[in-house]
Each structure stands twice: as structure tokens, then as C-alpha cells.
Amino acid sequence: MNMLAVATSYLGLTDEQKFGPVFMKSFDDFMVVKLSPCGDLEEGRLQLCQPEGYGDLLKNIQKSWNASQSLLELRGPKAKLQRMVRYMFFFDEEKKSEKVLLEGRDGITDFPWAVQIVVIQLPVKVLEQDLEWIRKADTIVLLDSENEAGRDFATGMKTICPDIPIFSEKVQEGLSHDLKVSLEVLFADYIKKRNRIKDILNARHPELQISCTSAHRMAGELGVNLFLVGSVCDELGYRITQCGLGCF
């Protein structure tokens, strides 16, 4: 199984329902998981070091499918939604899906191990957090910005992040051919990186455990996101040892 996870982040006044359905028209082999954060975590509980089991999480998450069973909406506290996705991807045989679009406003923060699409609808006042997201994007999509303001914004973004592709899209017309081709290249590269990490883990750490230091070193050696290494470790059932926080 070659897992392909794609996450969205939104800037501006974007209606989050706009991009997901258009994406599905071009990539209909994906399942969409829409994350709808609501409610707060219980006070006094450090979620990272006191993780909940899958059964406990299910009690706090509301799930609903659309009619075609291609879109699953999850509602609950944000940190619990993050954990729910992790369990579904790696530990629930019935829920596993090879290709998933994680549709939400904060994909870069919530799922840093996925392919990152930053969706922008003008007007938007670019703040420091926004710039951080933009720099971490794998691709940027400007919605309905075929005007002078949109062109000026795209030019400014290319100055800030010249290596990140930017596409101006008319959502009512579906994804452009150029964006679709660019995404296909990104997806293939993502799968290639996951497979490289798997090969090294199998060769160097067949005992299904790896130290936190070794994971950092592997990420640097391969030039990949550390979170991606952690995600592959999850997928293969690895245990992370000697964590500085003692969480694993």
C-alpha cells in the first residue's frame, strides 16, 4: 500500500467547501476527510503524554458520511481530531484508505506529514503566521483571482517563495490542466519519499524501533520533513525510543 495524504490550509475569506469538491472531480480515487473542530479539550490534561485509546476517541468524535460514502466529516476537539486521523490511517483496518484529502483550515499545522495545498481567496492580509504557512506549502492555489489584484498578489508570493508553484484557479471550471499535472508530480514525489524512508527503516532498523535521534538524522540525510519520517514509522508500526520528552 502506497499511502498518499494531502492536506489543505485556507487563507482569506475562503469557503472551505469550494476546493474539496473540485479536487474530487479531478482525483475521484481519493476519499475526503473533512475536519470540523468544535469544543475544547478538558483542562489539565496533557494530550501528548497521556494519549487516549481509539475507543475513547470514538466517544468524543461525531462522524457523518455523505450519500456516496466518499466524504467523511469528523467533528470534535481539534487535538482529538488529529489523533483520530492518525488512528484511522494506521491502526483501523476498516478505515484505511490509500488516498485521502484532509480538508480543513489548518492542514500545515495539524498534518505536517502530508502534501500541503494552501488555498487562498483574496482579499487577505498576510500576517506572520500566513507567511509561515505559505513558505511550507507544496503548492498555492488562488481562487477566482484572475484580476489585477490577484496578479499582483501572485507576483508578491513568487518573490517570497520562488520555488513554490502558484496557480490561479476558477473553481466553477474545475482544476486547470496545469494544476492537475503539478499535483500528480507532487503526489508521485511524496510516495517516492515514503518508500525511500521505508527502505532505510527496513534495512537499518528491522527490529521495528528507532531512536528519536536516528529519526532526526534520517530526515536530514534524505532531505525530508521529520514529520514524514514519523508518519512512515507509524505506518510500519515502529516504536520511537529515547524521546527527549519521554512521550514514546
Q: Look at residue 208 and tell me whether its pLDDT is greater than 80.
A: yes
Q: Is the peptide bond before 123 cis (omega within 30 degrees of 0)?
A: yes
Q: Look at residue 44 and tell me whether its pLDDT is greater than 80.
A: no
Pairing between strand 62-65 and 71-76? Answer: antiparallel
Identify any residues that bridge with 239 across adjacent strands, giving them in sequence order: 209
Residue closest to 142 by CA, chosen among 114, 109, 175: 175
Per-residue pLDDT at 118: 93
| Cβ-contact 130, 118 below 8 angstroms | no
What is the residue whose three cell numbers read 499582483? 152
pLDDT tens column, 107-157 = 998 899 999 999 988 887 766 667 888 889 999 999 877 788 888 888 888
Q: Look at residue 190 and tell me whether its pLDDT is greater than 90.
A: yes
Residue 172: partners with Cβ closer than 8 Å, 6 or more residues away: none
Least confident of 26-35, 67-76, 86-95, 177-186: 86-95
What is the residue whose three cell numbers read 488512528? 87
Under the banding of pLDDT at 50, 70 and 90, the label for residue 221 is: very high
Highest mean pLDDT among 87-101, 189-203, 233-247: 189-203
- Please state, in angstroms and rounded to a whole number, the distance separating the CA atoms of residues 193 and 172: 33
Q: What's the average model confidence in pLDDT over 22-30? A: 90
213: its cell numbers: 535521534
| Cβ-contact 16, 102 below 8 angstroms | no
